[in-house]
Structure 1
Amino acid sequence: MKLIGSLTSPYVRKVRIVFLEKKLDVDLELENVWAADTKIANSNPLGKVPCLIPDDGGAIYDSRVIAEYADALSPVSKLIPGDNRERAAVKTWEALADGVMDAGILARLERTWRPAEQQSTAWVDRQMGKIQNSLRQMSENLGGNAWCHGNQMTLADVAVGCAVGYLLFRFPEIKWQAQYPNLDRLYQKLLQRSSFIETEPPAA
């Protein structure tokens, strides 16, 4: 299998962590979707990463779809519960974490792609508000539990770890670790895992 992605995308990091936790081999092919000569549209017409090319060809895209596909490939380290209600709970955590990454990327693009005189402070503030609301919800839902859902690591924890890690990477001014120490405890625990260590984004 081949995974098309980048080293800084939190969505790519999420699926890379899933493959590592599942002990599945996948070759990472680096692609800069913002480059003029990018070829990502040949595999994903949306022009986004990650994009998985299975051994039988074709393409699977969107990090949530790839993560679910990978989890079903091996019984090792089951990350998505089989029970429908529990599965929905884990996937809701993932949606919340992905939403944090969505908002962060939109805010970052506004600041880095638009000329200063065209940037919308109101738009950035709206995205920052989504991030703050989501962090508060994550912290409330986690409470004093060891994991986001159940008594072992699931895709919920992987997604949350990638989301808060992305904030540290791109938005260090958001002092979420001091504000939500329970989220930080979870993050520090995740950072001990080789899957998180191996996928740490390079220094900006």
Structure 2
Amino acid sequence: MKIVGTQTSPFVRKVRVFAIEKNINVDYVVDRPSSPGSRVAEFNPLGKIPVLVLDDGEVVFDSVVIVDYLEGVKPEPQLIPTEFRGRIAVRRWEALADGIVDAVVNISHQYGPMNDAEKHAAWIPNQEAKIERGLSLIERTIAGREWLHGAGFTLADIAAGYALAYVDYALPRFERRRRFPGLSAYSERLMTRPSFRTTVPSAS
């Protein structure tokens, strides 16, 4: 199997961290969809990353589906609970993290209603508010706890980890560390894991 994507994509990082935590041997192929000669669109007609290419040539996308696939391939260690309420709780954290990342991308790539000055003026504050509310929920929940869900490390922590790191990486002016000091110990705890240390994006 191989994961196709870029170092800086938080969604690619999600599936790479997940695979490492699962001890699943997956090759990593760097391919930026916007680069000439990119093969991403051959694997995913939407031209989006990450893509998981299986040994038989079958492809799996996007990140939410990929982590489901990897969990099914190797159920242990369990990162997504099988019990219904627990599974929904963990997937909710994943949805929150993905939403935080989407808001960061909207700001850093200057997406929004560019042809409407009034709407555009409110666009960035609205995106920043999403980030702030999301980080506030993580900070409140992790207070006094080691992990976000239950007694062990799960996809919820992977999700929070890549979201926190991406805010720092792509939106340093947000000053996440200063504004949310309650997340510092949690971030440091996540970074002691080899899965997070080995997937830190380069500056390029």
Scaled by the length of structure 2, the TM-score of the pair is: 0.91
Q: Look up the match of 1:162.
A: 162
Whole-Å separation in 2 of the counterparts to 1:64 and 1:17: 13
Aligned to 1:28, what secondary structure does the other structure show? strand
The structural deviation recorded for 1:140 is: 1.9
Structure 2, unpaired ranges of 5+? none
CA distance in structure 2 between the partners assigned to 1:45 and 1:129 by the alignment: 32
SS in 2 for 1:52: strand
Q: Report how far residue 46 of structure 1 moved.
A: 1.3
| Residue pair 1:191, 1:197 contacting (<8 A) in 2 also | yes
Deviations 1:147-192 (A, max 9, x none): 0000111000001000000011111122222332332211100100
Over the aligned positions, Cα root-mean-square deviation in angstroms equals 1.8
> What is the letter of the counterpart of residue 148 of structure 1?
L
User: Which residue of 2 is the match for residue 44 of structure 1?
Assistant: 44
Equivalent residue letter for 1:22: K
AA paired with 1:95? A
- The one-letter amino acid paired with 1:60 is V
Paired residues, number: 199
Change (3 A) 1:110 1:37: farther
Q: CA deviation at 1:19?
A: 0.6
Matching residue of 2:21? 21
Structure 1 residue ranges, 4+ long, deviating more than 4 angstroms after superposition? none
Greater Cα shift, 16-25 or 74-83:
74-83
Structure 2 residue matching 1:29: 3-state secondary structure: strand
Amino acid corresponding to residue 144 of structure 1 in structure 2: G
1:69 Cα offset (Å): 1.1
User: Is 2:41 the counterpart of 1:9?
Assistant: no
Shift of 1:36: 4.2
TM (normalized to structure 1)?
A: 0.91
